[in-house]
Amino acid sequence: MADEAALGTRIAARAKVGVDEVRSVFEAQGIPLAVPPTRPRSLRIHRLRVAGVRTGTLEPGPFATSFEFEEGLTALVASNLRGKSSVLELVTWCLRGTPREKSGAIHWLSEVDLDATVAGQAMAFRLDLQAEEITSAVVLTGPDQRTLKALRTPDPAQGVLPLFRAASSESYAQQVQALMMQWMDLQPLVSAQQGTTAVAHGWPAYYGALYMPAARSAALLGDVVMAGLPGRLLQVFLDLPAAAVLAKVKTQAALMSTARQRRQGTANEAQAERAEQRGRIEADLSAAQTRLAQLTQATNGSKHESLADLAAATKQLSTAAVDSQEAWDELMRLHRQAKSQRQRDEKLLNDVRESGIARRLFHGLDPTTCPRCDQSFAIERRQLEVQDHSCAVCARPVQGDDEVPEDVVAEAEERVKSSSEAERLAKEALVQAETELDRISHDLRAAQDRLRQADAAARVPVYAQVRDEVLRLEGSLSVLPELPPPGVDPVEDLAIKVLRAAAKTLEDDHEKEAARLFTDLNAEISSLGRKFGFAALESVSINRAAQLRVTSDGGHERSFTDQVPGERLRLRIAVIVALLRVGAAHQVSTHPGLLLIDSPKAEEIQDVDIHLLLQELNAVAEANNLQVLVTTADFGLAHDVLPAESIKEAAEGKPLW
């Protein structure tokens, strides 16, 4: 908590914010503010067992081979293409999750067992294979290596428990990489890809500092040059303060800053584009308004009536004429209906005066259509009703007479009187409507004549067009308001400010620690390089980005990538050993101490040089608690340099396993 408080206070002072704000930013980004001491990362392998069935002409049949590994340098010796490199790949498959390269012999295997100690904990890696793929796997942990050696499955009675199980190569790779990151106390190496995406490199990237890449590789540490990974590995394995935290802080600050810049850039572009659009519309609107004012002035200055007034009056009269015509049509219909009713009533009066049957039917229904089929009665049926006294509906005879014909006649006369009055009123209304229609029609014709005769009539289409254009442009402006300037997110600004201050603070810590370590590191690399056979080497200079400058041949300075493959190999080994030596001296060494080197003699190294390299590497490994596995096809080389117990060899031409 004291370290966290001290670091938070320093970052807050640099960012000029409160310590609580610093803490909240780190919590929001999921970055630890404290820098706890690193746990030991020692990694040792003790036994590799492989089993399967070999096919082909070279010693076909079942096999089961075990290799025991001790501290110091161990040489795997066999003829070319006899399985020595595949031993490194099988160790890598167990520890890394995937082999770097699958050799052709792996398809013979059905079982692969590796016993190792990871950060002080005994572990057993048990893989079952078929067709070069994992069908089942389990990683066990137990009290010691002796207990684990005899087991391939959990045994709770002996304290052997599974850490995880897997049923495929993909599942095993994912789980073993997570396991190693946890037990080796490592954080993902995070970098920003093209400033937009955070890319996390896990255990496989770290493992590249254990398994030397091909000498021609441009990477000094690890097997990935991009994303600054060699420098990240150097900083982690020297345990420079909060190397993983610094990487996360710098990456997150870069991502957030880039996202803000892009968002602001997009907003600025949109704002500029909107301003340009409005500028064009405003210019067009100004021109249209000027033109409209000119047309309005010319129209108002005319000696004749206003075109606008004439057009409005004409439109009003046209509407009134239409309404008056519709009213006249309706009154004409009503007048005709009233006239028809009056004529029917007069005929009925005549009928009741002359016919008793008519008087008897007077108060009955007078349908015009059949009540069942809605068809009109034939004229003949009506005539028969009068002539033959047969009902027009049912055609039956109508007999008898009314007793009071005077009442029927009087009522029929009253009906005639009423219908005649209705006809008269309808006629009067129709005459009035005709008069009004004539007046409106006359006024409309007069207005139309005045509109046609007006000198300014020719300007009406142009005026209307320009007026519509003004309205359209005003509408366009209303739906394209000015965009506000890019908004400022105070939370984002605070986060970027704090993260940048944190990056600078942690960088200062790194620089102070690096100044103390790198002088010793450079001297150690130079000394080891010369011991490993780089006789012309005078000095080196390595920085925190793992960029190595090499001075040799009388002051000639070149980069690491400018060296020949053999010199690159010597320098890589020298860097790893120097990390262990200087780290141990300063009590900051966190390299696992395991090194795999495949066929160093193949990298253009002369016989004298390779003897010297392996002799010195053996001495350095013993003196610095380093475990090194080297493969070679040179039987004499291994026996010249190493004792028999440090050599795992097959007879010449025979398989190693």
Under DSSP, the state recorded for 562 is G
Average the pLDDT over 463-489 and give the result.
Answer: 83
> How far apart are alpha carbons 334 and 423 in whole angstroms?
9
Report the sign of the C-alpha dihedral through residues 336, 341, 346, 350, in that order.
Answer: positive
CA atoms within 13 A on the CB side of 575: 31
> How far apart are alpha carbons 182 and 175 in whole angstroms?
11
Q: 148: which 2 tokens?
A: 């684990």
Give percent of the chain above pLDDT 70.
83
Q: Could you report the per-residue pLDDT of 402-426, keeping only the tens digit for each?
A: 555 777 788 888 888 988 998 899 8
Higher-confidence position of 126 and 32: 126
Question: Which of 155-159, 241-245, 285-289, 359-363: highest mean pLDDT?
Answer: 155-159
* Residue 446: pLDDT over 50: yes
* Res 36: pLDDT: 60
Q: Which helix (H) or strand (E) holds 134?
A: strand 133-141
Report the sign of the C-alpha dihedral through residues 604, 607, 610, 612, in that order.
Answer: negative
Contact 7, 505 (CB under 8 A): yes
Confidence of residue 572 (pLDDT cuts 50, 70, 90): confident
Give percent of the chain above pLDDT 90.
26
* Res 390: pLDDT: 62
Q: Could you report the per-residue pLDDT of 587-616, keeping only the tens digit for each?
A: 766 788 899 998 887 655 666 678 888 888
* Res 2: pLDDT: 45
* Residue 87: pLDDT over 50: yes
> How far apart are alpha carbons 49 and 53 in whole angstroms?
14
Average the pLDDT over 263-282 and give the result.
Answer: 87
Contact 160, 147 (CB under 8 A): yes
Report the sign of the C-alpha dihedral through residues 20, 26, 30, 34, in that order.
Answer: negative
Three-class secondary structure of residue 588 per DSSP: coil
Question: Which of 94-98, 224-228, 247-251: highest mean pLDDT?
Answer: 94-98
Average the pLDDT over 113-129 and give the result.
Answer: 96
Q: 211: which 2 tokens?
A: 């398994």
Nearest Cα residue to 119 out of 591, 493, 635, 617: 591
Higher-confidence position of 92 and 105: 92
Q: Could you report the per-residue pLDDT of 483-497, keeping only the tens digit for each?
A: 888 778 888 899 999
Higher-confidence position of 516 and 548: 548
* Res 1: pLDDT: 43
- Residue identified by tokens 């909107």 is 274
Higher-confidence position of 405 and 622: 622
> How far apart are alpha carbons 601 and 77 in whole angstroms?
12
> How far apart are alpha carbons 93 and 90 in whole angstroms?
5
Question: Which of 126-135, 350-359, 443-452: highest mean pLDDT?
Answer: 126-135
Contact 76, 86 (CB under 8 A): no
Higher-confidence position of 219 and 190: 219
* Residue 237: pLDDT over 70: yes
Average the pLDDT over 443-450 and give the result.
Answer: 81
* Res 153: pLDDT: 95
State the CB neighbour count (10 A cutoff) for residue 466.
21
* Res 305: pLDDT: 61
* Residue 140: pLDDT over 90: yes
* Residue 302: pLDDT over 60: no
594-597: strand order across its sheet: 594-597, 627-632, 72-77, 647-649
The 8 Å CB, 24+ separation contacts for 263-272 are 263/486, 264/486, 267/483, 267/485, 267/486, 267/487, 268/486, 270/483, 271/483, 271/484, 271/485, 271/486
> How far apart are alpha carbons 520 and 526 in whole angstroms?
10
* Residue 144: pLDDT over 90: yes
Largest CA distance in the chain: 159
Q: How far is the CA of 620 from the CAs of 524, 530, 533, 615, 645, in angstroms?
A: 12, 13, 14, 9, 18
Nearest Cα residue to 353 out of 401, 414, 403, 408: 408
Contact 582, 520 (CB under 8 A): yes
Confidence of residue 481 (pLDDT cuts 50, 70, 90): confident
Higher-confidence position of 387 and 564: 564
Under DSSP, the state recorded for 164 is E
Confidence of residue 139 (pLDDT cuts 50, 70, 90): very high
Q: How far is the CA of 531 from the CAs of 323, 335, 562, 570, 616, in angstroms?
A: 116, 131, 20, 9, 6
When the pLDDT of each residue in the chain is averaged and rounded to a whole number, the result is 83
CA atoms within 13 A on the CB side of 558: 13
- Residue identified by tokens 């219908």 is 419
Q: 646: which 2 tokens?
A: 């440090």
Contact 192, 253 (CB under 8 A): no
Region of poorest pLDDT, from 50-64, 196-210, 298-312, 327-341: 298-312
**pTM score over 0.85:** no
Higher-confidence position of 627 and 263: 627
* Res 369: pLDDT: 65
- Residue identified by tokens 């519509």 is 468
Confidence of residue 469 (pLDDT cuts 50, 70, 90): confident
* Res 364: pLDDT: 46
CA atoms within 13 A on the CB side of 203: 24
Confidence of residue 307 (pLDDT cuts 50, 70, 90): low
Which amino acid type is present at position 374? D
* Res 606: pLDDT: 62
State the CB neighbour count (10 A cutoff) for residue 221.
28
Cβ within 8 Å of residue 319, ≥6 positions away = none
Q: Is 164 exposed, middle or buried (0-12, 13-18, 19+ CB in 10 A)?
A: middle
Under DSSP, the state recorded for 481 is P
Report the sign of the C-alpha dihedral through residues 418, 422, 427, 428, in that order.
Answer: positive
Average the pLDDT over 350-356 and give the result.
Answer: 73
Which amino acid type is present at position 316? Q
* Res 378: pLDDT: 63
Confidence of residue 158 (pLDDT cuts 50, 70, 90): very high
Region class of 70: left (phi > 0), else alpha (psi between -120 and 50), else beta: beta
Contact 234, 579 (CB under 8 A): yes
> How far apart are alpha carbons 48 and 70 in whole angstroms?
12
